[in-house]
Each structure stands twice: as structure tokens, then as C-alpha cells.
Amino acid sequence: MIVLFTDFGIGSAYMGQMRAVLHQGAPGSPVIDLFADAPTFDPRAAAYLLAAHAPEFPPGTVFVCVVDPGVGGDRPAMVLRAGGHVFVGPGNGLFEIIARRADSFEAQAITWRPDRLSPSFHGRDLFAPVAAALARGGDAAMTATTAIADNAWRQPDWPDDLAQVIYLDHFGNAITGLRAEKLSANQQIQVNGDSLSRARTFSEVPMHQAFWYENANGLVEIAVNQGNAARDLGLSLGHSVRLI
């Protein structure tokens, strides 16, 4: 299985081009769109989102991850093996939280380069072909890697949990980078001056009341029962969350 995690935009031509390359390179592997609307230009926020969703996939899954505002620059192209999964993408911190939470990991730089490498579209020209080769288990040249130094891709100053909004879904629910298991049942959080209590699910609070809950991927999510938390609470990506 190959999983796409990008900030390219839902329905964009970029996603179609990447899927075409993956299909040609690994025609027997299903390609799953996990996120095409990961936090734009924000590898840090995306790193916490990726770390929360990757464990849901079976061992051997290959993730092609592209949130890459430095594309064409000096950040390395890399492969990370962690948690039974393989991650292909830019070494800009996007894989920091995956690596940090894994029992062990192996990080390497990609040495292969295609004949055509657009300076602005490594997702199509570099990451997708390498991911396809890894998924089909062949082509030693395309999967060639070398050692990579920690300081080339790690972000040790990033917190273990990120107390801010990292994703807004279709319903206006605001997903944060906080793991709910780290908080107590009576923990309150504050956003934009509003104090919110924890509930197990939507039906436990009155209609139009704001609250927070542990979402299906273990993160603290801010919601309004049959409402829109982003609109009703004035939330946007990057909004800080305070524990009170």
C-alpha cells in the first residue's frame, strides 16, 4: 500500500501527476489519499498530523509525504523506516515526530536522481518514483540511499506535543497537535478566551455547545455540537491552545 500525504490541495493536478507516476512504477499497489490538504507550507504542524495517522496503516505501508516549502533548496531528500512503515519525502522536520515516537528508526538520504528533476516538483519526479520502487521491492539503483546526519533533518527543539490548531476539517472541527492521552479527564483548555471542558463525544453536550474530545486518532479536537468550531470560536490554523 502507498499512502499520499501532501499539502497540494484536494483535486489538484499535482496529486493526479503523482498518482500516475506511482501507478506506472508500482501498478499492483493501491494508492490511498490520506491528506491532500495538510497544513500548507508548515512541515512542523504536518509532522504531528502525520504521526497521529500513520499508526492506523498496516506494516509495510509506504508513505509519500510532501509538505516542502524548501523544495529545490538544500534540505535532503530522505527515506525514514520507523514503526514498520517507510516514509519518503523531504528532510525538513516532517518526519521528526514519527522518528521521536518510534522504538527505533533508520534514516537515510536518497542518492538516486532521475534524468528529469523539476526544481519545484520533487513529489512527482523524485519521491513518487522512489516510493514506487520501495513498494514493489525492486530496482536497487532507485532505492539507493546513504547515511544522513541528524542535524540535516532532525528538529530537537520542537515540543513532544504541539499546543496549537494543526488542521480544520470539513465540519469546522479544529484538530490540535496535543495527544489526549496526556491530559486528564477534567482538563480544560482555552482558545481565544473561551474555556472548554472535555466530553467523550458530541451527544454528551447540548446542541451548539463547544467542547473538546479525543478524536479517532488520539488527538485533542475542538468541536461544537452540530456547529462549526472554526467559525463559532474564531479559530484558524496555528491558533494557540492553552491548558488551564
Structural domain ending residue among the three candidates 152, 182, 201: 152
Does position 3 have pLDDT exceeding 90, yes or no?
Answer: yes
Q: What is the pLDDT of residue 129?
A: 97
Q: Residue 142: its pLDDT value, please?
A: 87
Quick check: is 157 in a domain?
no
- Any idea what the CATH number is for the domain that residue 58 is in? 3.40.50.10790
Looking at residue 215, which CATH number applies to its domain? Answer: 2.40.30.90
Same domain, 137 and 76: yes
- pLDDT tens for 171-199 read 999 999 999 999 999 999 999 999 999 99
* Predicted local confidence at residue 170, as pLDDT: 95
Q: What is the mean pLDDT of residues 14-33?
A: 97
73 and 134 together in one domain: yes
Same domain, 144 and 179: no
Instruction: State what percent of residues in the chain have pLDDT above 70.
Output: 100
Decide if 20 is inside a domain: yes
Structural domain containing residue 120: 2-152
Confidence label for 59 from pLDDT (cuts 50, 70 and 90): very high
| Shared-domain flag, residues 49 and 7 | yes
One domain, residues 123 and 39: yes
Question: Quick one: average pLDDT of 89-103?
Answer: 98
Instruction: Report the pLDDT value the prediction gives residue 139, as an integer from 0 to 100.
Output: 77
Number of domains in the chain: 2
What confidence tens digit (pLDDT) does each residue in 145-173 have?
999 999 999 999 999 999 999 999 999 99
User: Do 209 and 89 have their domain in common?
Assistant: no
Residue range 1-21: mean pLDDT, rounded: 97
Task: Establish if 105 belongs to a structural domain.
Answer: yes
CA nearest to 35, candidates 18, 17, 53, 62: 53
